[in-house]
Structure formats: C-alpha cells, structure tokens
Amino acid sequence: MDQEVYQDLEPVYNNNDYLYDWIFHFNIYTKLWNAVPRETYNEYLNNHDAEGVIRSSLFSTLLALLNLTKGDIGKIDSAVKISYE
C-alpha cells in the first residue's frame, strides 16, 4: 500500500522568529527578491523603493543577511559594506 509522506519544511535557521516580521516578494521585471518589513508592506505596494526594503538576486542571500542581523534594519546597513568608488 502506497502512503504519502508529508514533511514540514525545516527552518533554514534556528530561532528564526524574526522572519515573521518580513514579507518576501519576487519581482519578475527586475529579477530580484525583495525582503519587506511587515510594517512597511503597504507603502512598498505603492512604491517599490520604500524605506527598509532589501533586495538580492538570490533568496538565500536575503535569508543569510536577515539571520546575521536578526532582522534588525538598523544593523543591516552596518553588516553590508558597499563601496561606490
């Protein structure tokens, strides 16, 4: 007798409760994943350049960045060093 096996997706990171505060959206036109803070989601729907939105071509990069900073937007700027030289 064949049985279907259902398996819950294992969390990527332990103690990742902070991910509930983020909404993930893939933009088919820019080919980028967007991580949007839940409190600014309505603003994001009206303006894709809303404050606090982080973008990456890889979903795993967003998860790693949020894991590194525990979802704290203030720490994201210091975690990512961008040089415009």
Series of mean pLDDT values for 10-residue runs along the chain (85 residues): 50 66 91 92 88 89 86 73 49
- Per-residue confidence (pLDDT) for residue 82, from 0 to 100: 52
pTM for this entry: 0.70
DSSP-H helix ranges across the chain: 41-46, 59-69, 73-79
- Per-residue confidence (pLDDT) for residue 18, from 0 to 100: 82
Q: What angle do CA 48, 55, 72 make, to 5 degrees?
A: 100
- DSSP character for 57? S
- Per-residue confidence (pLDDT) for residue 9, from 0 to 100: 47
- Per-residue confidence (pLDDT) for residue 33, from 0 to 100: 93
Distance from C-alpha of 46 to C-alpha of 67, rounded to nearest angstrom: 27
- Per-residue confidence (pLDDT) for residue 26, from 0 to 100: 93
How many CA atoms are closer than 13 Å to the CA of 74, on its beta-carbon side? 0
Contact 24, 37 (CB under 8 A): no
